[in-house]
Amino acid sequence: MKTSPALVAVFAILSSALPAAELIQDLETSYNASAGARTNLDGRRNGDVSGQNTHFQYLLSYVVPERPILRFGAAYDRFDFGSAGGFIPSGLQSLNLVTGLDLKLWDVIIRIEAQPGLYGDNQGFTSSDFNIPLVLGGSYLVSKDFQWIAGLSFNPNRDNPVWGGIGFRWKMADRWTLNVVPPNPRIEFKATDDVTLYAGGQIIASTFRVNDNLGGGRRGRSYDAALVDYTEIRAGAGASWKFAARSTLDLELGYMAYRDFDYHKIGDNYENRSGAIYGQAGIKLSF
């Protein structure tokens, strides 16, 4: 079968018009669990609340030299709580897209990202769970050893819709790096070419809508389909093993110091009275 010369010419024109690009795929998943922490359950009772968190994210980056980097993917997060009832949900979860771009303006790299999706509980998603959090970040490389980093997040369902932070990454010595960037500030020590030890903190925060039946009684009616800001603060130490050119395995152990369920539109929040140990394992693949 002969190929039409006109068709060959069309493909030649299209291929020459498209810029040479690199597709980069990033996959990360992690699991952590914390022991029971004494927690206010309903304003009158306290009980031990344990926690588990599962995280999965896939990103595809379209990279063209001298042009903005386009990023697209999906993420899933789930929090499960072992509790004695009250107004602590048994689980919270989110399923969202990740869309955005990275661009360079002079010496500043800017990231713009939207995370449209469903943010509900473990009773299943409904249309009222839909939300579109936004993230804006920027970094400025002062030198090969020092970098300023700043960020803003906007979540219309959160009590304070706009959060912001600023930090820096400083390579203090050949093997030491101080990474003071929220929500995961830490200090790192490069023990070998493939193993990095670290210690620091972590802030987990998101907003969800609970199901229509959480209230379960006259006093609890206002909690049905209510918004809850979930916050967790941890401190820990761990190791990161680079087992391939662009892939790592992380193991971490630490202390969960603070956990809060804030029903901000109702004016009630339920936080822990004591902390608990936690363990975490995660893997990141890039190809």
What the block records as the tokens of 182 is 């929220």
Q: How many CA atoms lie within 13 A of 83 on its CB side?
A: 25
**Structure pTM?**
0.89
What's the CATH code of the domain at 253?
A: 2.40.160
Q: Is 7 part of a structural domain of the chain?
A: no
Residue type, position 138, single letter: G
Q: Is 120 part of a structural domain of the chain?
A: yes
How distant, in Å, are the alpha carbons of 56, 252, 254 from that of 240?
A: 18, 9, 15
Q: Is 220 part of a structural domain of the chain?
A: yes
Structural domain range at position 252: 38-286
- What are the per-10-residue average pLDDT scores of the chain (287 residues)? 53 53 95 93 83 97 92 97 82 97 93 98 94 97 96 97 96 97 96 98 96 66 87 98 96 97 91 94 97
Q: Is 12 part of a structural domain of the chain?
A: no
pLDDT tens, position by position, 63-74: 998 899 999 999
DSSP character at residue 272: B
How many domains does the chain contain in total?
Answer: 1
Q: Is 42 part of a structural domain of the chain?
A: yes
Q: Is 21 part of a structural domain of the chain?
A: no
Rounded CA-CA distance 207/227 in Å is: 7
Q: Is 29 part of a structural domain of the chain?
A: no
Contact 256, 232 (CB under 8 A): yes
Rounded CA-CA distance 204/7 in Å is: 54
pLDDT tens, position by position, 76-96: 999 999 976 778 899 999 999
Rounded CA-CA distance 179/159 in Å is: 28
Rounded CA-CA distance 189/187 in Å is: 7
- Residue 239's DSSP bridge partners are 197, 251
Q: Is 28 part of a structural domain of the chain?
A: no
